[in-house]
Structure formats: structure tokens, C-alpha cells
């Protein structure tokens, strides 16, 4: 409570701060801490005074005075022992009040010395008593300064009766001493007040520091919490990342499985075609089966290329065209017949939507050229070009320097399934096909594709 | 070369039919066709097998690689792998030694692989 009030207005003397319960409790604790040794010193002093005055003053009076004083001190001692048993702040405040009253009572006992055991006949012993009481009052000013209610009445209780006694004696020197004692009393009260203020300030600072410490502790706790949350978040992210990675690996493995199964199914189709081929007798029918098998195989090669590719959905155009053309050359023993193969393909990668039609077109055109362009042992060359001259356009050229197509042939010739397939696939690619029959035959197909720069080409 | 005595280990029977006629057309003799790796050793014991033509995915609990290891531990015969998986070489140590034919296979590839396997075996490379 006090700490909050200090935060709003930390100025010393702010009534709301100094009157707060917590602050008052702290003052009582200070009083207790300072006065513990005071009881012992007071006891010692009382015996010094008693013994010192025993030759001048009635022993009965001294005995009464010492007895009263000891009773008060016994009560103070009892309070001192009980302090550690206090539980609530209210009890502490009450203890402070009781202790202050006992201290004032003790002061009154000291003050009563000026009446009960005053050495009226000996100025020397009067001086002795005066010095003793002044000393006790000074000590009280220092020791009981935490509480105004404690130090101020005590000082006055000790010194005012002595001063009054001197004034009562009436001699000039006594009047002078009485005045000096009053001045001393005023000075001690003033010094007690100053000490009280210093102590209050130190308490206020302690609260401020406590507040600062609390704030630092709170900030530390917040920082620790933040750190903890951050660590949790990092862990969660890592876990998510691992899950994504795992899911990606699963996806890759599933894709590979699909390509594998596709290839296996294509193998079954090839096997069926081959088995069927063996059961037909005419050469023409056998050729048809063989050509169909080649078409299936060109697709199987594509799946193999996809399976081998890094991202499983794009293939290297260069590699695929080389593999496909070489496979067809081997199938038809073209190299042995003196036919060369020339391939120029840009370093591109194609998605499956582009790669399958392209592969089948190449398959048909090479097959067509190998079947018709080099009759009766004629030698020559088949050339394949694949490049993308513009950002969204690619060009595929398959050409040969063979006998050429018949002059009257039209691209959409219904009798040639191969050419029909090529035209359909060119259309599927949204492409334009051009046929040049000047030196052999040259098929030039321009088709649309996007983002083909670098190694990325998509349909 | 003269034809070899070949055991086909493949679980797809249409492919088995194709393999059998293709191998016979190529001049080989198919001495047995089984679909499970577990049956391989028994068949090899009963029949004189010169080459085992092995699919990598099989019907039983043993795959082609495990079956090949089993065969190698008991018999001294060459193996030709046949698979639709393209990167099988990376996955098994055995296939570095014995040829792998990719599905769909061509007669020429099959013939070449069998010749290579027999040659490697003769030269004690594997």
C-alpha cells in the first residue's frame, strides 16, 4: 500500500505515506531495534545515580526511587521480550504505543529524581545529578527518535522537573542552571525531531528501493516468461517444420509409388501387345503392334524420367529427347542402316502436360522418317531441335534429308495414323504445325508455354 | 551364345507370360516361374537354374532384394533384376553387381542383361 503511494508521490512527509500502517509499523520496528540496548544502559545509569547520591540523600528515598524505576524497567523488558511474538501490524502499533508510555513513565521516573532524591544541600551533587539527567535525556533523544510520541515527552519528563526544581530553589546560580536545562531540553527535542525526520526519510527510501526491486523482479519474471514462451514457440515451429518435412517425404514417396505403378501397368500393356503380336501372322499387323508398343514405351520413358527427377513433376527435355530418339534408332536398327541422329535441345525442363505430347510427336515423326524417308538402303540424317525463342513460345523441329513425303500429301492425311496423331497433339499443345518438303521433310511445331526461361517450362 | 536355363520370379502373370515367350524366342529355356521369393530356393534346388530373373516387388513377404540375398547365400547363380522402379540401384548393394532391366523391358535389353549377368558370373566379378 505504502509503496503504491510512494510511486504516486514519493516526497518525504507526505501524510498519506507517513501515516500508512506499513510505515508506522516500520517506525515501531526501528524503535525496538534502537532501544534494546537502551534498557541495559538505563539500568546501569540508575545504579550509578543511586550510589552517587547515597551519601547525600535519604536511603529510603533512593530505595523508593530505584524500586519504582526497576518496576518500570521490568515492564519494558517484558515488552521487549514480547516483541518477537507479535503477529499483525495492529499488534505492532499497539506495542509501540505501550512501549512509548513505558518510556515516558521511565522519563517521569528520571524526572522525579529532581524531587525525591534531589541533593538540596550540595551544589556539587546537584551538578552530578544534572549531568546524569542531561546524559540520559540526550540518550533518550537519540534512542527514541523513531517515534515523536516517544522521544519528545520523555525528554521533557526527564528535564522539566529538574529545571523547575532549580527555579524553585530560587538562588541566582540555580535560576541560571534551570534556564540552561530548559535550553538543553529544547535543543534535544529539536535534535530528536531532526533525527526522526532522517529516519523517516531512510524508511521512505527503503520503500522506494523495495518498489524498484519489486519492479525489477517483476520485469525479470516477465522476461523469463517471454523467454519461456519463445522457447515453446520455437519448439512448436520446429515440430511443425518436421511434420511438413515428413509430409513432403511421404508425398514424394507416394508420387514415386504412383510412377512405379504407372510403369508397371505400362509394362503389362506392352506385354499384352507383345503377346498379341506373336499371334498375328501378317507383317503389317505386327508392325502396327510394334508401333503401338513404342508409343506406350515413350510414355513409360517419361515416367521413368519423372521418377528420376528431383521434384518428381518436371523432366529434363534434353535427356528425355536423347533417350527417346536413341531408343527408336535402336528399335529400327537405324544406325546400322547408315542413318545419323542429330539432336539440339535447349537446357529446359518440362511438366508432364507438355512432355507427353512432345514425346509422342517425336516418337511418331522419327518412326515415320525411319519407315519412309530412307527407302532401299538410302543413307541420311534425322535432326531434332527443341528450343524456346520467346518467353511463352517453344519450337520443336523434326526433320530428315531423306526421300521426302509425297508431293500431294496433306498434313491432315487420313491414311497416316502417325501424322494424324502428330496433328492432334500439336493442337493439344495449342501449337501451329508447318510442313516443309523442300529437302526431305521438315515438321516445325510452335507451341505455347509459359515461364520457360532457365530450366522451368510449364504448360 | 547358347540359351540359358532361366527361373522367372515375378508375381504379375501377364508379364510372366510375356517373359516366357520372349525368352524362348531369344533361345532360352524357362525352367520355372514362381511369384513368391520364399519359393525360390526350393525351386532352384529341384531344377538346374543358370540365371534367376527377379522382379523386385513380389507377392510374398520377401522382396526381390531379400530373395536375391537368400539365393546368393546358398547358390552360386547370377541374377538379373527386373523392375519398374527407376532408382533401385541406389537402394540396394546387390544391384551394383547384377544388371537391372527397367520395365517396360525390350527384348534386346533383356537379352543383353542376361548375357552380362552370365559373363560377370563366369569372370567371377560377382
Q: Which residues of A touch B21 (CB under 8 A)?
A: 274-275, 278
A309: pLDDT confidence band, cut at 50, 70 and 90? Answer: confident
Q: Is A185 on the interface with B (CB under 8 A)?
A: no
Nearest to A43, CA basis, from A117, A110, A127: A110
Cβ pair B18:A270 closer than 8 A = yes
Flag the least confident range among A271-275, A297-301, B86-90: B86-90
Q: Is the ipTM of this complex over 0.90?
A: no
Pairing state of beta strands B100-102 and B79-83? parallel
The predicted-structure confidence for A157-180, as pLDDT tens digits, reads as follows 999 999 999 999 888 888 999 999
Q: Is A186 on the interface with B (CB under 8 A)?
A: no
What is the C-alpha to C-alpha distance for residues B97 and A284, in angstroms, rounded to an integer? Answer: 41
Q: Which residues of B touch A327 (CB under 8 A)?
A: 106
Q: What is the pLDDT of residue A395?
A: 93
For the entire predicted model, the pTM comes to 0.58
Nearest to A56, CA basis, from A130, A131, A132, A125: A125
For B51-78, give the DSSP string: EEEEESS-SSSS-HHHHHHHHHHH----
Q: What is the pLDDT of residue A16?
A: 57
What is the C-alpha to C-alpha distance for residues B28 and A48, in angstroms, rounded to an integer? Answer: 136
Chain A residue nearest residue B13, CA to CA = A268
Q: Quick one: A241 exposed, middle or buried, by C-beta within 10 A (0-12, 13-18, 19+)?
A: exposed
CA distance B124 to chain A (A): 30
What is the C-alpha to C-alpha distance for residues A62 and A49, in angstroms, rounded to an integer? Answer: 9
Cβ pair A300:B86 closer than 8 A = no
Q: Which residues of B touch A270 (CB under 8 A)?
A: 18, 104-105
* pLDDT at residue A20 tops 50: yes
* pLDDT at residue A30 tops 60: yes
Amino acid at each position: 500500500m505504502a509503496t503504491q503511494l510512494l510511486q504516486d508521490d514519493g516526497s518525504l512527509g507526505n501524510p498519506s505515506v507517513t501515516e500508512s500502517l506499513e510505515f508506522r509499523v516500520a517506525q515501531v520496528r526501528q524503535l525496538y531495534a534502537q532501544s534494546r540496548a537502551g534498557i541495559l544502559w538505563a539500568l546501569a545509569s540508575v545504579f550509578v545515580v543511586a550510589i552517587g547520591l547515597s551519601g547525600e540523600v535519604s536511603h529510603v528515598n533512593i530505595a523508593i526511587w530505584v524500586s519504582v524505576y526497576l518496576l518500570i524497567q521490568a515492564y519494558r523488558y517484558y515488552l521487549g521480550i514480547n516483541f518477537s511474538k507479535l503477529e499483525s501490524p495492529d499488534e505492532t502499533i499497539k506495542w509501540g504505543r505501550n512501549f512509548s508510555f513505558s518510556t515516558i513513565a521511565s522519563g517521569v521516573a528520571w524526572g522525579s529524581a529532581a524531587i525525591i532524591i534531589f541533593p538540596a544541600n550540595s551544589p556539587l551533587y546537584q551538578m552530578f545529578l544534572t549531568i546524569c539527567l542531561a546524559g540520559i535525556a540526550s540518550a533518550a533523544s537519540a534512542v527514541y527518535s523513531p517515534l515523536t510520541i516517544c522521544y519528545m515527552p520523555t525528554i521533557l519528563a526527564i528535564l522539566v522537573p529538574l529545571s523547575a526544581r532549580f527555579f524553585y530553589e530560587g538562588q541566582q546560580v540555580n535560576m541560571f542552571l534551570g534556564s540552561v536545562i530548559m535550553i538543553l531540553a529544547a535543543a534535544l527535542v529539536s535534535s530528536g525531531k531532526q533525527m526522526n525526520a532522517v529516519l523517516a526519510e531512510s524508511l521512505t527510501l527503503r520503500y522506494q528501493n523495495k518498489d524498484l526491486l519489486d519492479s525489477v523482479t517483476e520485469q525479470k519474471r516477465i522476461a523469463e516468461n517471454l523467454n519461456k514462451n519463445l522457447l515453446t514457440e520455437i519448439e512448436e515451429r520446429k515440430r511443425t517444420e518436421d511434420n511438413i518435412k515428413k509430409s513432403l517425404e511421404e508425398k514424394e514417396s507416394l508420387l514415386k509409388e504412383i510412377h512405379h505403378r504407372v510403369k508397371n501397368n505400362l509394362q503389362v500393356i506392352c506385354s499384352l501387345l507383345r503377346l498379341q503380336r506373336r499371334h498375328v501372322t501378317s507383317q503389317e499387323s505386327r508392325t502396327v503392334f510394334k508401333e503401338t508398343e513404342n508409343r506406350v514405351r515413350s510414355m513409360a520413358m517419361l515416367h521413368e524420367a519423372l521418377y528420376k527427377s528431383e521434384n518428381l513433376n518436371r523432366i529434363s527435355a534434353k535427356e528425355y529427347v536423347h533417350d527417346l530418339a536413341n531408343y527408336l534408332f535402336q528399335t529400327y536398327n537405324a544406325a546400322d542402316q547408315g542413318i545419323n541422329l542429330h539432336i539440339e535441345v535447349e537446357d529446359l525442363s518440362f511438366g508432364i502436360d507438355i512432355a507427353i505430347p512432345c514425346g509422342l510427336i517425336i516418337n511418331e515423326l522419327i518412326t515415320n522418317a525411319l519407315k519412309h524417308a530412307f527407302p532401299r538402303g538410302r543413307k541420311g540424317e534425322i535432326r531434332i531441335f527443341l528450343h524456346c525463342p520467346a518467353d511463352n513460345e517453344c519450337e520443336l523441329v523434326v526433320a530428315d534429308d531423306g526421300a521426302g513425303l509425297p508431293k500431294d500429301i496433306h498434313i491432315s492425311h487420313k491414311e497416316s495414323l502417325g501424322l494424324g496423331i502428330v496433328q492432334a497433339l500439336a493442337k493439344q499443345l495449342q501449337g501451329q504445325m508447318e510442313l516443309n518438303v523442300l529437302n526431305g521433310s521438315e515438321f516445325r511445331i510452335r507451341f505455347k508455354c509459359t515461364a520457360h526461361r532457365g530450366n522451368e517450362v510449364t504448360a | 551364345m547358347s540359351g540359358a536355363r532361366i527361373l522367372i520370379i515375378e508375381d504379375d502373370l501377364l508379364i510372366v507370360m510375356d517373359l516366357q515367350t520372349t525368352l524362348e524366342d531369344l533361345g532360352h529355356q524357362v525352367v520355372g516361374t514362381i511369384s513368391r521369393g520364399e519359393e525360390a530356393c526350393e525351386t532352384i534346388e529341384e531344377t538346374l537354374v543358370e540365371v534367376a530373373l527377379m522382379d523386385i516387388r513380389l507377392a510374398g513377404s520377401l522382396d526381390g532384394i531379400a530373395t536375391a540375398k537368400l539365393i546368393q547365400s546358398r547358390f552360386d547363380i547370377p541374377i538379373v533384376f527386373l523392375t519398374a522402379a527407376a532408382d533401385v540401384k541406389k537402394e540396394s548393394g546387390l544391384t551394383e553387381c547384377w544388371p537391372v532391366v527397367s520395365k517396360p523391358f525390350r527384348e534386346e535389353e533383356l537379352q543383353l542383361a542376361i548375357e552380362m549377368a552370365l559373363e560377370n558370373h563366369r569372370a567371377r566379378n560377382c
